């Protein structure tokens, strides 16, 4: 079973993500802030991270850059969730080192398909 990390400062969004991902058969951990996510990854590296952009103290782009600054994290698939759609959000995500940028609000079925694809698993 794959281990996922959700990073979002809004508890309702974390709860929704966790609910859908656990139903999809994944182990899920959560972080509220970028630094908390960095600490969790250092202790127990997840297979995939879903990372919000808009967070206090350290935004998702900076969190992603810091994660990618360590070669040990190269194999982690990172999905950035952004409330801002379009090319700019996608380009900023790629520049930060994310593998994929998805728009909020997310469609659960599509999110699960992207997670499965990111993990190299067959879509359910």
- The answer as to whether 109 is a domain residue is yes
Cβ atoms of residues 77 and 47 within 8 Å: yes
Number of structural domains in the chain: 1
Q: How confident is the model at residue 53 (pLDDT cuts 50, 70, 90)?
A: very high
Structure confidence by residue, pLDDT tens digits, 1-39: 899 999 999 999 999 999 999 999 999 999 999 999 999
C-alpha closest to that of 82 among 108, 55, 57: 55
d(CA 32, CA 69): 21
Asked if pLDDT for residue 70 goes beyond 50, the answer is yes
- The answer as to whether 123 is a domain residue is no
Write out the residue range of the structural domain in which residue 29 sits.
3-118
Asked if pLDDT for residue 104 goes beyond 90, the answer is no
Angle ∠(116,38,10) on CA atoms, nearest 5: 70
- The answer as to whether 55 is a domain residue is yes
- The answer as to whether 22 is a domain residue is yes
CATH code assigned at 95: 3.40.50.2300
Asked if pLDDT for residue 84 goes beyond 90, the answer is no
Asked if pLDDT for residue 124 goes beyond 70, the answer is no
Q: How confident is the model at residue 85 (pLDDT cuts 50, 70, 90)?
A: low
- The answer as to whether 58 is a domain residue is yes
- The answer as to whether 93 is a domain residue is yes
- The answer as to whether 25 is a domain residue is yes
Helices (H), the chain: 11-23, 34-43, 60-68, 87-96, 108-118
- The answer as to whether 124 is a domain residue is no
Paired with 80 in beta bridges are: 51, 101
């Amino acid at each position: 079973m794959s281990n996922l990390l959700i990073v979002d400062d809004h508890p309702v969004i974390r709860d929704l993500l966790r609910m859908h991902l656990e139903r999809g058969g994944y182990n899920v951990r959560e972080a509220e802030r970028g630094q908390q996510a960095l600490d969790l990854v250092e202790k127990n590296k997840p297979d995939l991270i879903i990372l919000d952009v808009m967070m206090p103290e350290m935004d998702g782009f900076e969190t992603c850059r810091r994660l990618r600054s360590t070669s040990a994290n190269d194999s982690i698939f990172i999905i950035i969730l952004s409330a801002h759609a379009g090319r700019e959000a996608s380009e900023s995500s790629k520049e930060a080192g994310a593998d994929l940028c998805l728009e909020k609000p997310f469609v659960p079925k599509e999110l699960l398909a992207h997670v499965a694809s990111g993990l190299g698993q067959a879509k359910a």
